[in-house]
Structure 1
């Protein structure tokens, strides 16, 4: 079973527009391209990645698909279409689905000033179009409110497969528990909901975090979703805000050490391959 990192990004500040990415972002306020990630994947033994959108734009999606064409290690692309404009979204999906590596859609809901953006009638219709196309949706659940939307979407669009990015950013640094624990448990009741063990280091203390800090949250997710609905993501380059790729990879493997070989293989590749329909 190949090892798949189910969540990473590239961006080029000279050729692309990323309004959220400002000098205040510190070390990630620069261009990140495939050549920088390749040796880090090789060192970790990661075979393939899922490249995830970093901006709600066609330009970002087109750039990612071009990178997927140029680099075999990119096995899938999670792009963007205007879900709030369902007719346009349908046309865009018809075009993008012709690319063999276009595997899903995400929208930066956490950057939208309306925390209930996902529940707008037009967006629900757009997500229905996505479900009809057989493509999944990545949910960037940062606020508790975002996580509350997952069961609502599961009820209203039963055919929509969803994955909760970064375990919905549990309150690791504060050693908090609720409402995160209860909300993610409610989401996990729906078999079409999956989750990514990703981006947790940047929810912890950036200077001192270890696997021990993440363990209560990952163990909770493991009990709820099981390895067959969890997938590893390195969240590079955002992850360098609290360490580096090698540290994230090492500590993730510490967290998974108690699993059977088959369960560990699911989290480190099998689940992502099935969810994104990756053939490698």
Structure 2
């Protein structure tokens, strides 16, 4: 069975998503029940919800919304990665509130659409260090050229578990393996960074990609981090831009067909179970 570490729910009647208007194919509802039906068919047994960059005023409302879904009978959701704003003065109080909520498994501040200077601000870095000792993870969503900045963040808090989203967001359409490849190798030297094998179908040409198109990116990421430091994610509904959930699951199985059972289990469920203490 598979643990999906990267589900997004979009419910425009419940929450505000300012960025959606710039991505028309995603600018509609993608509700949990739609995901659940397909997820169960492809062998997903457990899911973590990943924040969807809602209006900042609704960050905690998003967590409450997802928790209500998780409480429903048969729900796959076992926790949430919350949005956060480490660049703001109120982060310390925000973190204290989230620590009191066992449903929260970690945080993410989307960085790949933000100026590089954001993660270099002293307040951002000081607040990120507050995660030390909490057991809460921090997802890094950065562009290939920003990977050195992500590595610097990981160095600031060596006892915090960082999760690198989407194999470092390679530009697969352009087959741009450099400097992505070298930067992945370098950030993988940090033992407190785990890579998420997710999202890459959305970065390939939606009309022409095949499993072999993705193989160099997936294999290099797994090779750099090793089987003990990789987890799997669907990135639904973003993955619908490149074929959808079932296609991505099938492609994943094809790409790791040469791995042994222990290695496959680590990627698909075991490492996630350990990192986020999932039953």
| TM-score normalised by L of structure 2 | 0.93
Q: Does 1:8 align with 2:7?
A: yes
How many Å apart are 1:65 and its aligned residue? 2.8
Residue 64 of structure 2 is matched in structure 1 by 62
SS at match of 1:223: helix
Q: Does 1:33 align with 2:34?
A: no
Q: Does 1:105 align with 2:107?
A: yes
Alignment check: 8 A CA contact 1:68 1:101 kept: no
Moved over 6 A (4+): none
CA–CA distance in 2 between the matches of 1:97 and 1:11?
Answer: 25
How many Å apart are 1:91 and its aligned residue? 2.2
How many Å apart are 1:143 and its aligned residue? 4.8
How many Å apart are 1:235 and its aligned residue? 0.6
Residue 52 of structure 1 is matched in structure 2 by 50
Residue 90 of structure 1 is matched in structure 2 by 92
RMSD over aligned Cα, in angstroms?
Answer: 1.6
Residue 174 of structure 1 is matched in structure 2 by 174
Residue 140 of structure 2 is matched in structure 1 by 139
Deviations 1:53-101 (A, max 9, x none): 0114333233223333336311221002331235x32322222223322
How many Å apart are 1:187 and its aligned residue? 0.3
Q: Does 1:241 align with 2:236?
A: no
Residues 125 and 65 of structure 1, relative CA distance in 2, 3 Å threshold: farther
Q: Which runs of 5+ in 2 are unaligned?
A: none
Alignment check: 8 A CA contact 2:9 2:31 kept: yes
Q: Which runs of 5+ in 1 are unaligned?
A: none
Residues 69 and 83 of structure 1, relative CA distance in 2, 3 Å threshold: farther
Alignment check: 8 A CA contact 2:142 2:150 kept: no
Residue 121 of structure 2 is matched in structure 1 by 120
Deviations 1:157-208 (A, max 9, x none): 2122111100111121112211100111110001101111100001111112
